[in-house]
Amino acid sequence: MASEGSVPARKKKLSPGLQFLRDAGIALALVLSILVVMYAYTGLWPPLVVVESDSMMHSNDNTSYIGVIDTGDLVLVKDVDSVTDIQTYMDGYTSGHKTYGDYGDVVIYRVNGQLTSTPIIHRAMIYLQGNADGVSYSAPSLRDIPDEDNKWSTSNPSDTWDHLTSTLTIRNVGYRDTSTSIDVGRIITAFRQYSTLPSGYITKGDHNLNVDQSLASRYSPVKLDWVVGIARGEMPWFGLLKLWATDSLGSPAPENSVRNLWISMAFIVAAPIVVDVVLTFR
């Protein structure tokens, strides 16, 4: 206890080295806490994926937007256990469920279930259920769509939602407001030699004109066990750092994303310095 009239003892300042260790420890603890929270939410490790291409972008001039999946974005990947955990575009059209600027969920899946393949992040358009007859599909999400909406049709007029054998067309899709065609007959023909048809999701990049299953190497619907998870949230731009470091950019980085990344990095570096200076001179 200081005696009356004496000068109060001044608090001893930490050396620069100890200050650095303290700040680094706080930053590390914060990062670890965030990672633990993300893992608890997603149920997967790693909980984030980097978007490598422009296949989900909503622009024709390579401009990125918040709320849309763009090249260089980071998104959380939430684990799924059943078909009911994923709402497709057609499910969302009925329920109103939207993610990343359009109906339905965006899924992350491995092509043909191959663990060595780079995961694809595209929107689940519709779930096709193989019928017991082995020569047709059902699409329950089509059942409750009013006829007056004129949202879908088939090239075979005899087809119904629970007996699809021909090309299914979904109208007014995406930011381009175009029609998307799904050649169900091609899938049936490809698997005719087997006793059952594979059930799964038809997927499509929002920026792409055709569904993934139009490609020769991906004609099978995406099976549930090929799905890594569904996309949630967005950390824009920061994934570009990894893509540049690993030379894995699948398409040119949006110019506004690059600009926003450097502005964000400058703020992150400058903010602690400014705070420290302000506290020092208080």
Q: Do residues 22 and 72 both lie within one domain?
A: no
Question: Three-state SS for 32?
Answer: helix
Would 22 be classed as within a structural domain?
yes
Measured CA angle at 17 (ends 13, 19), to 5 deg: 50
Would 95 be classed as within a structural domain?
yes
**pLDDT tens digits along 41-56:** 777 777 889 999 999 9
112 Cβ contact partners less than 8 Å away, ≥ 6 residues apart: 217, 218, 220, 226
Q: Do residues 200 and 124 both lie within one domain?
A: yes
**pLDDT tens digits along 199-227:** 999 999 999 999 999 987 788 999 999 99
**What confidence score (pLDDT) does residue 25 get?**
78
Q: Do residues 37 and 94 both lie within one domain?
A: no
- Candidates 265, 261, 236; CA nearest to 57 is 236
Would 84 be classed as within a structural domain?
yes
Would 276 be classed as within a structural domain?
no
Q: Do residues 57 and 123 both lie within one domain?
A: yes
Q: Do residues 52 and 115 both lie within one domain?
A: yes
Distance, in Å, from the CA atom of 79 to the CA atom of 227, rounded to the nearest integer, reads 9
Would 117 be classed as within a structural domain?
yes
Distance, in Å, from the CA atom of 265 to the CA atom of 282, rounded to the nearest integer, reads 27
Distance, in Å, from the CA atom of 109 to the CA atom of 86, rounded to the nearest integer, reads 12
**Tally of domains in the chain:** 2
**What confidence score (pLDDT) does residue 8 get?**
55
Distance, in Å, from the CA atom of 220 to the CA atom of 107, rounded to the nearest integer, reads 16
Dihedral of CA 275/276/278/282: which sign? positive
Q: Do residues 66 and 120 both lie within one domain?
A: yes
Would 159 be classed as within a structural domain?
no
**What confidence score (pLDDT) does residue 60 get?**
93
**What confidence score (pLDDT) does residue 116 get?**
87
Q: Do residues 106 and 27 both lie within one domain?
A: no
Q: Do residues 55 and 125 both lie within one domain?
A: yes
Q: Which domain, by its residues, includes 93?
A: 48-129+196-260
Q: Do residues 34 and 74 both lie within one domain?
A: no
List Cα–Cα distances, 186 to 107, 183, 191, 214, 216, in angstroms: 23, 5, 9, 9, 10
- CA 222, 45, 35, 262: dihedral to nearest 10 degrees? -60
Q: Do residues 208 and 235 both lie within one domain?
A: yes
Would 54 be classed as within a structural domain?
yes
Distance, in Å, from the CA atom of 14 to the CA atom of 253, rounded to the nearest integer, reads 43
Q: How many CB atoms lie within 10 A of CB 19?
A: 12
**What confidence score (pLDDT) does residue 5 get?**
54
Would 237 be classed as within a structural domain?
yes
Backbone angles phi, psi at 203, to 5 degrees: -120, 160
Low-confidence ranges of the chain (pLDDT < 70): 1-14, 23, 38, 282
**What confidence score (pLDDT) does residue 2 get?**
46
Distance, in Å, from the CA atom of 200 to the CA atom of 202, rounded to the nearest integer, reads 7
Q: Do residues 55 and 95 both lie within one domain?
A: yes
Q: Do residues 121 and 207 both lie within one domain?
A: yes
Element (H, E) at 28: helix 16-42
